[in-house]
Amino acid sequence: MSLYLSIILLIVVLNFVWTQYLAYRNRKRMSPEIPSQLEGIYDDEEYAKQQAYQKENSRFGLYGSFFSFSVLFLVLVFGLFGWLDEFLRQFISNEILLALSFFGVIYLINEILSLPFDYYNTFVIEERFGFNKSTKTIFWLDQLKGLLLAVVLGGAILALITWLYTAIGELAWLYAWGAITVVSLFMTLFYSNIIVPLFNKQMPLGEGELRDAIEAFAQKAGFAINNIYVMDASKRSTKANAYFTGFGAKKRIVLFDTLINDLDKDEIVAVLAHEIGHYKKKHTLQGMFISICYTGILLFLLSLLLDNKDIAIALGGQSASFHLGLIAFSIFFTPVSFVINVLSSIHSRKNEYQADGYAAGFGLADSLISGLKKLSVKSLSNLNPDSLYVFFNYSHPTLLQRIKAMKK
């Protein structure tokens, strides 16, 4: 076993063990007794249902994670990535087509292996706890649309990046960085116009008290918004949400129809005030800037590994290639990604507090707290998670932390 393969396997094992340790700590926090801090949020019946839902998801997540870990470990030990590379080289000589075929086969196998887990989660777990509204027709159409989107959009991006790294040389990462940045900006502006309609219908919010209240708040906040849409999320799930997307004239607020059904007018306005707070506090621009910098660093580091034949051999291959280098890099980068994700989560939680504070500054703290409570109970959220699990995994503060901060 080569040194490179030993390091790769060590990283994979440590990552799995650490993830499961955090999940174990979180499971240990579960109790049939309502913690004092949750009294008045959950009643006995709702809390018992929430605990059962969280336990079921945690147990199912453990099985899925162990299965994925086992498959990856065996693939690495037996050099199956390299075997696939050598097998495809018998039929394909073009490096771009080779990379597309290589990742296409891996993507297809991964989808086939994960499909039973997705199906069980949707039609057994989510169904049992009253969340699932999707039909089997919708489920299979979603799978097909996702596959086509991955082939068309993902294939085009992969082909471009492969060509840049194989044709340009040392500065290829700079061109790839520019190309991905352009695609990211385009998707930020047009995601809701192009991608979302493939899966959901979006209709402009009709005239009435809710639209008047939203527009009145937007005017008070100095936030010009004409694009307020309602999405038919209820055809898949009872869980509610809202999101804000785009910049400038392309700004758009999208409300799940489940949100409108679950919250009253003032609570919806408070939730939107929180989302507008992200925009006003420049969190959207910060996130985009950080993402662009992160991508540049990633692509530069990737360029250092692509010509390493020893890494290709560690994966079972016989010659250096873009696709084997990318596989190895995705694993080698795990420790760095771990640190970056922790810092990103800390920054994200700070932004959430600021957005809550923005809404509270307009006297909407009580409405926001009321709305968040309803959404949390409706989705059977874990309101008492382990603190270490929160630190490493939560991009948002817990509900109790947000309530405490707003009451200040």
Residues with catalytic annotation? 275, 356
What's the CA gap between 246 and 231, in Å, rounded?
16
In terms of Cα–Cα distance, which of 25, 26, 11 is closest to 338?
A: 11
What's the CA gap between 53 and 382, in Å, rounded?
9
Let me know: does 230 contact 242? Beta carbons within 8 Å.
no
Let me know: does 54 contact 380? Beta carbons within 8 Å.
yes
- Cβ-count burial 106-132 (b if 16+ within 10 Å, e if not): beeeeeeeeeeeeeebbeebbeebebb
